[in-house]
Structure 1
Amino acid sequence: MSTTADLIAALKKELKAAQMTYADLARQLNLAESSVKRMLARGDMPLSRIDAICRALRLDFAELARRVAEAQPLLKELTLEQEKAVVADEKLLLVSICVLSQWTLEQMTSAYRLTEAECVKCLAQLDRIGIIDLKPGNRYRLKLAKAFRWRPHGPVMNFFRDNVALDYYSGGFDGPAEGLLLVHGSVSRSLAPVFLERLQRVAQDFAQQHLADQKLPEAAREGYTLVLAMRRWEFDAFMRLRR
């Protein structure tokens, strides 16, 4: 939700872009120029006054609020409380994963046993949590950065470790376009971050291709799950054999 200070900061930018001086605005509002300067400098004013300034700029208030919302910094990680809320409900977690892939409401209801009402309820919850900005027509804007990740030891990753990891790795990885690579080695500490950066680029490429291929018919697409990881680790049984 946009704060009044955010709205006023945006109004100042709009005034500058419109080349409207404080004197010009004061005449439009029937106020003294000093009052307008003081009002904008405080960063706090009633919404009715903000609406009046919008009219002077011929700018719709809803459009101003939208611009402010879209200018907010995107989240790279959720708070502990936000993640707890996501995993508290299985259907909400499912819809969360779907919105990370930017599925439409229609895609969710056609792929899963979810009613439209259930999906809309989950989208509204994700809006309250702060993951999406829900728009008219059940469209939404994702409020997560490209570099977003679940908290490494947070509720969501713990849920997947406890409930998903064994199921995922129980597969044979021998189907078309499937594979499981296990590589162990010792590399320079200075080069290890470079390899991690490459893995992150692969993940971003995969996510961008997913979005680009949404225009293809469903029959031309297949659902895959890409898991990339790198950590300092040695199998516990091997560690016990070390001298």
Structure 2
Amino acid sequence: MSSPELVLKVLRTELRHSGITYKVLAERIGMSESSVKRMFGQKDMSLSRLALICKSAGIAMEDVLRQAADVTPHSDNLTLAQEKSLMASPKLLLVAICCLGNWTMEQIIETYTLSEPECILSLVELDRLGLIELKPMNRYRLKVSNAFHWRPDGPVQQYFREFVVSDYFDGRFDGEGESLLCVPARLSSQSAREIVQKIQQLAAELARLQQEDRRLNPEDRDGFTLLLGFRSWEFSALTALRRNGSGAKTVVATGQGRIHRSEA
């Protein structure tokens, strides 16, 4: 998706949130509704037209441009060398995870035992590694996509498997907005692939909601983590009870919960 398309996508979202229809917008800028629809449908717009629409709708144009920049397509993961660099420093990995959760530097320092110089140095290093683009006043922009994931067999994922997963599932999953599901099923390969596609769609929906909720105050948001597993698997204790020659497995999907606070 090109930059003009991204800007128009964000603008349409902002207009919808403001309750402004194409008909209302057309009246405010002195155009016909059909012309406004055609203008958005062409997926291109001059800056002067964008400024006029934003002013008429009471929307800050700089916010539209910033949001479009935030969702500009980037890489879905880091290189092996980048992940190894993160794992070489626990504090750098901590700041990286906070950045992926859209924490500000002030929130990181307030929450964890990092000094301001340590946090700034970590941000500088993350900028060098390509995870973020460091901006004035120690602000930053993520340089990875909303579909970002750690490398499947990379050092960060290996660390998570060894230490994080058990800590995650140690929770009760009974808090507000929390859920834990374990759903066994016997499926064809085609059906299993369909489930994987739906999981990917769910991850995209989570990224969209996080982007939209960044407009809220920090106290109105909490940190949630979605951890999904889906594979052909059987609990080893059940496998031990199988009759000889029985080779059927059960496809199992596991669900979600909350592990730490994360703010935009």
* TM-score bin (small chain): 0.5 to 0.7
**Percent identity of paired positions between Structure 1 and Structure 2:** 46
CA RMSD, 1 decimal: 2.2
Q: Which residue of 1 aligns with 2:120?
A: 120
Q: Which runs of 5+ in 1 are unaligned?
A: 1-69
> In structure 1, the residue corresponding to 2:97 is in which secondary structure?
helix
Find the aligned partners of 2:185 and 2:197 in 1 and give their Cα distance: 17
> In structure 1, the residue corresponding to 2:102 is in which secondary structure?
coil
Q: 1:198 deviation in Å?
A: 1.3
If each structure's helix is expressed as a fraction of its own residues, which one has the higher value? 1
**TM-score between the two structures when normalised by the length of structure 2:** 0.60
1:163 aligns with 2:142: no
Q: Which residue of 1 aligns with 2:31?
A: none
**TM-score between the two structures when normalised by the length of structure 1:** 0.65
Q: Which residue of 2 aligns with 1:203?
A: 203
Matches within 5 A, 1:29-108: 74-108=74-108
Q: 1:73 deviation in Å?
A: 6.8
> In structure 2, the residue corresponding to 1:184 is in which secondary structure?
strand
- Give the residue type in structure 2 aligned to 1:218: P
Q: 1:149 deviation in Å?
A: 1.3
1:185 aligns with 2:185: yes
Q: Which residue of 1 aligns with 2:212?
A: 212
- Give the residue type in structure 2 aligned to 1:225: T
Residues 222, 148 of structure 1: alpha-carbon distance in 2 compared, 3 angstrom cutoff: closer
Q: Which residue of 2 aligns with 1:224?
A: 224
- Cα offsets for 1:80-135 (capped at 9, x unmatched): 21111112211111111111122222222233232221111111111111211222
Find the aligned partners of 1:114 and 1:213 in 2 and give their Cα distance: 27
- Give the residue type in structure 2 aligned to 1:210: Q
Q: Which residue of 2 aligns with 1:130?
A: 130
If each structure's strand is expressed as a fraction of its own residues, which one has the higher value? 2
Q: 1:79 deviation in Å?
A: 1.7
Structure 1 runs of 4+ aligned residues shifted over 6 Å read none
Find the aligned partners of 1:217 and 1:141 in 2 and give their Cα distance: 19
Find the aligned partners of 1:115 and 1:172 in 2 and give their Cα distance: 33
Q: 1:181 deviation in Å?
A: 0.1
> In structure 2, the residue corresponding to 1:182 is in which secondary structure?
strand
Find the aligned partners of 1:112 and 1:201 in 2 and give their Cα distance: 33
> In structure 1, the residue corresponding to 2:180 is in which secondary structure?
coil
Q: Which residue of 1 aligns with 2:48?
A: none
Q: Is the 8 A contact 1:75 1:143 kept in 2?
A: yes
Find the aligned partners of 2:146 and 2:76 in 1 and give their Cα distance: 8
Structure of greater Rg: 1
> In structure 1, the residue corresponding to 2:231 is in which secondary structure?
coil
Find the aligned partners of 2:99 and 2:187 in 1 and give their Cα distance: 37
150-159 or 139-148: bigger deviation: 139-148
214-223 or 153-162: bigger deviation: 214-223
Q: Which residue of 1 aligns with 2:56?
A: none
Find the aligned partners of 1:115 and 1:101 in 2 and give their Cα distance: 20
Q: 1:162 deviation in Å?
A: 1.4
Find the aligned partners of 2:127 and 2:157 in 1 and give their Cα distance: 21
Q: 1:78 deviation in Å?
A: 1.6
